[in-house]
Homo-oligomer: A and B are copies of this chain.
Amino acid sequence: MIRRDVITACGVAFSLGVAILAGIDRPGSASAAQADKDPLPSWNDGKTKQAILKFVADVTTEGGPKYVPPEERIATFDNDGTLWCEHPVVQIAFVRDRLKQLVEQKPELRDKPAVTAALTGDMAYFEKEGEQAIAELVYLTHAGMTVDEFHELVARFFQTARHPKYGVLLKEAVYQPMKELLAFLRAHGFKTYICSGGGIDFMRVISQEIYGIPPEQVIGSAGVLEFREQDGKAVLVKTPKLLAFNDKQGKPAGIELHIGRVPILAAGNVRSGGDIAMLQYCQGNTRPSLQLLVNHDDGEREFAYAEKNDASLNAAKARGWNVVNIKDDWKAIFSFQK
Contact = CB atoms under 8 A, between A and B. Distances in A.
B234 A281 contact: yes
Interface string A236-258: 10000001100001101100111
A21 interface: yes
Nearest to A26: B25
Interface in A217-239: 218, 222, 224-227, 229, 233-236
Contact of A234 (B11, B201, B252): B252
A280 B229 CA distance: 9
A215 interface: yes
A209 B9 CA distance: 40
Contacts of A16: 14, 17
A255 B10 CA distance: 47
Contacts of A258: 216, 258
Contact of A13 (B14, B216, B225): B14
Contact of A204 (B12, B21, B22, B260): B260
Contact of A259 (B5, B216, B252): B216
Contacts of A21: 17-18, 21-22, 25-26
A9 B11 CA distance: 10
A244 B260 CA distance: 16
A252 B236 contact: yes
A6 interface: yes
Given A6-B6, A252-B234, A216 B261 contact: yes
B2 A281 contact: no
A283 interface: yes
A263 to B, nearest CB: 11
Contact of A18 (B17, B225, B235, B260): B17
A54 B214 CA distance: 28
Contacts of A284: 233-235
B280 A215 contact: no
Given A191-B216, A200-B257, A225-B257, 14 more contacts: A6-B6, A9-B10, A11-B13, A14-B14, A14-B17, A17-B18, A17-B21, A21-B26, A25-B26, A201-B260, A216-B260, A227-B252, A227-B253, A235-B284
